[in-house]
Chain A
Amino acid sequence: MTPASISSPLSALLLAPFLLGVTRRTKAIAAGRTGPPLLQTYYDLAKLLRKSVVYSRTTTWVFRAGPVVGLAAVLCATALVPLGGVPAPCAFEGDLFLFAYLLGLLRFFTVVAALDTGSSFEGMGASREVTFAALAEPVLLLALAAIARTVGSLSLSTMYSGVDATEWSRASAAFALLGGALVVVFLAENGRVPVDDPTTHLELTMIHEVMVLDHGGPDLAFILYSGVVKLWLLGALLVGLIVPVRSGHVWLDGAAAIAGMIGVAVVTGIVESSMARWRLVRVPQFLVGAGVMSVLALVLTRG
């Protein structure tokens, strides 16, 4: 662990809410509105942490434990993900599996907390969440394993520090395909358009937002914060691949990666402004398509 490696989890913890602000602002501009301030998510978090709470009589301690365990899992995951060329504090062989399964733990507890309310709406959201996640997880792991095989490295940090311009010129086709697959995983896992619509709360088509319908106060703040940190982490895996700036200089690499993250947030906003959410039956096709791209990339990589 180097002092510089603290910077990647620290930036995730501090800047993640900002990313959501960028996406929202982009959407507002595209719609001809002024939109909320860029720091709105921070204000939301601060407000939610100060609020009192109302619980359903149906719920048990599982409902209260869900956001807490979820946030703990995401905070652990921040220690594993490098920011572009800046390595993470914990890098070890096979850390990508731990990362994927930490997100799995977050999902498990979000889902059981949703089911604890006994509401059909939240049951629907939970049902869709586990369906799409079961398809997205193999895509994520296959894509990461394909990057690892191309670069010839076993942990997220060493593998992403190996993705530089020369590697891109060597395996451009495979990397492009993997970038596509990671975009799909990024959109699906974070509940963005075209898989899910993060702006509506009470539609039968909702996935993530409907699962947290009954949460409020500090619990909702925990959920919101885990959500943005997860967005940041999956975004970092994408940006690490598509922004291959590896100067060896921590600050330069970090700045390039953060610029890349903001770019991803802007593009997400543009995507969300320019297209509608798809019908649910098309989402599995979307995910399986991404899986095919990962497999194709694997075929293209040399051993």
Chain B
Amino acid sequence: MHLLLLAIATLVGSGAAGLVWARTRWVSRVGAAGAVAGCAMAIVPAVRVLAGAPTESLRMSWQVPYGAFFIEIDPLSAFFLVPILCLSALAAVYGAEYLGAYREERRLGSAWFFFNALVAAMVVVVVARNAVLFLLAWELMALASFFLVTFEDEKPSVRDAGWMYLVATHLGAACVLALFVLLGCGSGSLDFDRMSGASAPVGLLFLLAMVGFGTKAGFMPFHVWLPEAHPAAPSHVSAVMSGVMIKTGIYGLVRILSFLGPPPAWWGWLLCGVGLTSGILGVLFALAQHDLKRLLAYHSVENIGIIALGLGVGELGLSVGSAPLAVLGFAGALLHVLNHAIFKGLLFLGAGAVAHATGIRDIDHLGGLLKRMPWTGLSFLIGAVAISGLPPLNGFVSEFLIYLGAFRGALSADTTAAVPLFGVVAGLALIGGLAAACFTKAFGIAFLGEPRSAPAWRAHEPGLAMRLPMLLLAASCVAIGCLAPLVIGMLAPVVERVSGLSPETVRGVVVSATGPLSFVALAALGILLLTALLAGLRQRLLSGRRVEETCTWDCGYARPSPRMQYTASSFTQPLTELFGLVLQSRRALVLPRGLFPRHASLTTETPDVCAQRLYAPVFTAIGRGLSALRWLQHGQVHLYVLYIALTLLVLLVWKLG
């Protein structure tokens, strides 16, 4: 436990050191080294607990009312700590090189300060066992990430994105605050181990948790900040935000669910519904995007949807008293948390490498990058296969667990409970198919073919500090795919904590799932082995034969140019057309006219429907209503001081009166 405190101190200290030496050449090295050292220290207790050591806790009294300074690492905290620490450390190494490009024009000290503060805040969020401490860390996490999102604050789009993020995250935090106040009311303590939901209807607490934590996690329709904030941030920050920071929302939800006791069936239905909506709409909006990082941000919404589906299956299982359903659902959801951290981190780092090399984020202007950036391309391809949920990689393992839970439940349950479970099966299949479409597009258009623009021609591989984290993450994708049965064994204590089921029950289901997972791992190894064998066979067949090179078959047209290649927009046109009702894409089409047309153009844009149709009218109305209070705002400081003094006076009178 002391190691964890030391790690947090290291993180904060190195961040502060970065602030002090902000103008030196050392700033990135100090910041990154501090982050890596802090993460390395903090992972020791986490791994110890996951390996079976008893829960570690530390309780100290402090000045803050309603409880103590109380932190604890139980299996659930430890399970979330591992991806947080690993991905943050890798992102810090990557960031040391990535931020180097900005050294001339910007002060990097604050960037490192906020990055390390963000990591420390995430660590505290998952180990805090007192609501005040939790909320402090939660707020620090939001603010640190806000300042990281607005790193390039001279761009209006970045400022808008940051503003949207700040508003969204605070609306969520308000719900979380209300939730904890209600939870603490009954017992008079905000320590997690003394909380009970007796003072308020449990359903209300559940809904508050769904909205509050769902905003951070990116459940639809609370996801609107994600596609704005993630592309705006520097890429290593996007990786951390998308890979692990939004997972603290899932952590909060799961932690609260473990307080609330046995769930009624509608919680499971709601989670499945939210999961299906986020999953399907997330991937559809991702399909329609041209900006690589925006596309990845929408995929985070999709994957959070898959996690919600797993949680929904788990809650349904608890409500109908079916242990296999509960255990497999939760195990799938939790494993997907880890897997998504790995491949989404990897993909954002890859997108960052592309942006670093070309300065372009629009897929339609890229192309041919695999030849110029072979290692980045290979890692991106592995990430793309993994996020599409395909064997032999890790994405398939967690989706398989959710499938298995839903499938087992659907076969044994009565018709009412079977409906959402079949919905889960069909929904996951549709999400999988659409995700494959989206990532063949992202990889195929950006990395294959010929470059579509001059910067893409000149692209080059980044240095070792940026390549190494990507390759390590790619290797983890393969490793988890091939070691599936071992991984689920490690999940058992975590699932126990989440579901509240007895260790024997959980162990029993886990053992029963080990068989199928062994086959999955066997298939993964089989694919890798057969690929190697067939590649060898092909090599043998071709040795000594003529292998020529020429241009791509052009169907008789003699002057093909890179601009004539299929683009991302054309690739997804059939799907975006098919789902046009949901996507509401805008098209600006200028048709060629006359016998010798000079000009024709087509632009498509798919803004977020929720932001446009749901929030924009509400916030406009609020803005109009509040403008009535404008007379209070004079811009004169002494009047503001007067307001503060008056408020304090009123509070004083209220307190004494």
Task: Give the size category of A's interface with B.
Answer: 35 or more
Among candidates B403, B450, B546, B570, residue contacting A123 with C-beta atoms closer than 8 Å: B570
A-B contact pairs, 29 of them (CB 8 A): A52-B548, A53-B542, A53-B547, A55-B548, A56-B549, A58-B449, A59-B552, A60-B377, A64-B538, A71-B534, A72-B527, A72-B531, A73-B391, A93-B408, A97-B404, A101-B432, A112-B448, A117-B449, A118-B368, A134-B575, A137-B429, A141-B425, A142-B422, A153-B411, A217-B545, A218-B542, A222-B534, A222-B538, A303-B412
How many Å lie between the Cα of A90 and that of B565 in the bound state?
A: 43
Q: Which of A144-152, A162-170, A243-251, A267-275 forms part of the interface with chain B?
A: A144-152
Q: Which of B183-191, B213-221, B458-466, B514-522 forms part of the interface with chain A?
A: B514-522
Closest to B390 in A: A105
Within 8 Å of chain A (Cβ to Cβ): is B573? yes
Q: Contacts A55-B547, A60-B371, A93-B404 given; indicate if A127 touches B572 (C-beta within 8 A).
A: yes
Closest to A213 in B: B553
Question: How near does chain A come to B214, taking the closest CB pair, in angstroms?
Answer: 25
Chain A hits for B527, CB < 8 A? 69, 72-73, 76, 102, 105
- A interface residues with partner B (beta carbon < 8 Å): 49, 51-60, 62, 64-65, 68-69, 71-73, 75-76, 79, 90, 92-95, 97-98, 100-102, 104-105, 107-108, 111-112, 114-124, 126-128, 130-131, 133-138, 140-142, 145, 148-149, 152-154, 202, 213-214, 217-219, 222, 280, 284, 291, 298, 303
Q: Which of B240-248, B256-264, B434-442, B499-507 forms part of the interface with chain A?
A: B434-442
Q: How many residues of B contact A (CB 8 A)?
A: 84
Does the CB pair A127–B425 fall under 8 Å?
no
Q: Among residues 553 to 592 in chain B, which have CB atoms less than 8 Å away from a CB atom of chain A? A: 553-555, 560, 562, 564-566, 570-575, 578
Q: Which of the listed residues A68, A101, A117, A138 has the most CB atoms from chain B within 10 Å of its own CB?
A: A101
Digitize B529-555: 1 where CB-to-A-CB distance is under 8 Å, 0 elsewhere.
Answer: 011011100100110011111111111
Within 8 Å of chain A (Cβ to Cβ): is B526? yes
Does the CB pair B575–A93 fall under 8 Å?
no
How many Å lie between the Cα of A65 and that of B548 in the bound state?
A: 17
Does the CB pair A68–B562 fall under 8 Å?
no
Question: How near does chain B come to A17, taking the closest CB pair, in angstroms?
Answer: 17
Closest to B519 in A: A92
Does the CB pair A142–B425 fall under 8 Å?
yes
Closest to B562 in A: A118
Does the CB pair A123–B388 fall under 8 Å?
no
Does the CB pair B407–A148 fall under 8 Å?
yes
Question: How near does chain B come to A49, taking the closest CB pair, in angstroms?
Answer: 6
Chain A hits for B410, CB < 8 A? 145, 149
What does DSSP make chain A's interface, helix, strand, loop or mixed? helix
How many Å lie between the Cα of A111 and that of B445 in the bound state?
A: 11
Does the CB pair A303–B400 fall under 8 Å?
no
10 closest residue pairs by CB, A with B: A123-B566, A134-B433, A115-B444, A118-B449, A72-B530, A130-B437, A138-B429, A52-B546, A56-B552, A52-B545
How many Å lie between the Cα of A298 and that of B421 in the bound state?
A: 12
Beyond contacts A71-B534, A120-B565, A217-B541: 19 other A-B pairs, Cβ-Cβ < 8 A, are A51-B545, A52-B548, A53-B546, A58-B368, A58-B449, A92-B515, A92-B519, A93-B515, A94-B404, A101-B390, A105-B390, A112-B381, A115-B448, A118-B450, A127-B571, A130-B437, A141-B426, A145-B422, A148-B411
Q: How many A-B residue pairs have CB under 8 A?
A: 254
Does the CB pair A62–B381 fall under 8 Å?
yes
Question: How near does chain B come to A111, taking the closest CB pair, in angstroms?
Answer: 4
Within 8 Å of chain A (Cβ to Cβ): is B468? no
How many Å lie between the Cα of A214 and that of B548 in the bound state?
A: 13
Does the CB pair A57–B549 fall under 8 Å?
yes
Does the CB pair B552–A58 fall under 8 Å?
yes
Question: How near does chain B come to A244, taking the closest CB pair, in angstroms?
Answer: 20
Question: How near does chain A come to B494, taking the closest CB pair, in angstroms?
Answer: 22
Chain B hits for A102, CB < 8 A? 391, 523, 527
How many Å lie between the Cα of A85 and that of B639 in the bound state?
A: 86
Chain A hits for B574, CB < 8 A? 127-128, 131, 280
Within 8 Å of chain A (Cβ to Cβ): is B479? no
How many Å lie between the Cα of A51 and that of B574 in the bound state?
A: 36
How many Å lie between the Cα of A105 and that of B384 in the bound state?
A: 11
Within 8 Å of chain A (Cβ to Cβ): is B611? no
How many Å lie between the Cα of A114 and that of B448 in the bound state?
A: 10
Within 8 Å of chain A (Cβ to Cβ): is B370? yes
How many Å lie between the Cα of A73 and that of B538 in the bound state?
A: 16
Among candidates A73, A76, A93, A222, residue contacting B516 with C-beta atoms closer than 8 Å: A93
Question: How near does chain B come to A278, taking the closest CB pair, in angstroms?
Answer: 14
Question: How near does chain A come to B566, taking the closest CB pair, in angstroms?
Answer: 3
Q: Among residues 367 to 384 in chain B, which have CB atoms less than 8 Å away from a CB atom of chain A? A: 367-368, 370-371, 377, 381
Does the CB pair A116–B440 fall under 8 Å?
no
How many Å lie between the Cα of A148 and that of B422 in the bound state?
A: 12
Does the CB pair B551–A57 fall under 8 Å?
yes
Within 8 Å of chain A (Cβ to Cβ): is B15? no
Chain B hits for A56, CB < 8 A? 549-553
Closest to A104 in B: B390
Among candidates A73, A76, A108, A303, residue contacting B415 with C-beta atoms closer than 8 Å: A303
Chain A hits for B114, CB < 8 A? none
Chain B hits for A126, CB < 8 A? 440, 444, 566, 571
Within 8 Å of chain A (Cβ to Cβ): is B154? no
Chain A hits for B609, CB < 8 A? none
Does the CB pair B516–A92 fall under 8 Å?
yes
Question: How near does chain B come to A100, taking the closest CB pair, in angstroms?
Answer: 7
Question: How near does chain B come to A181, taking the closest CB pair, in angstroms?
Answer: 12
Does the CB pair B450–A58 fall under 8 Å?
yes
Closest to B385 in A: A108
Chain A hits for B564, CB < 8 A? 120
Chain A hits for B549, CB < 8 A? 54-57
How many Å lie between the Cα of A187 and that of B407 in the bound state?
A: 26
Does the CB pair B433–A298 fall under 8 Å?
no
Among candidates B437, B519, B531, residue contacting A98 with C-beta atoms closer than 8 Å: B519
Does the CB pair A137–B432 fall under 8 Å?
yes
Does the CB pair B449–A134 fall under 8 Å?
no
Chain B hits for A128, CB < 8 A? 574
How many Å lie between the Cα of A114 and that of B571 in the bound state?
A: 12
Does the CB pair B519–A90 fall under 8 Å?
yes
Among candidates A59, A68, A98, A108, residue contacting B400 with C-beta atoms closer than 8 Å: A98
How many Å lie between the Cα of A52 and that of B441 in the bound state?
A: 30
Q: Which of the listed residues B408, B444, B575 has the most CB atoms from chain A within 10 Å of its own CB?
A: B444
Within 8 Å of chain A (Cβ to Cβ): is B104? no
Chain A hits for B565, CB < 8 A? 118-120, 123
Does the CB pair B578–A284 fall under 8 Å?
yes
Does the CB pair B430–A137 fall under 8 Å?
yes
Does the CB pair A123–B571 fall under 8 Å?
yes
How many Å lie between the Cα of A222 and that of B538 in the bound state?
A: 9
How many Å lie between the Cα of A260 and that of B553 in the bound state?
A: 40
Closest to B529 in A: A72
Within 8 Å of chain A (Cβ to Cβ): is B193? no
Does the CB pair B411–A149 fall under 8 Å?
yes
Within 8 Å of chain A (Cβ to Cβ): is B98? no
Among candidates A95, A108, A152, residue contacting B390 with C-beta atoms closer than 8 Å: A108
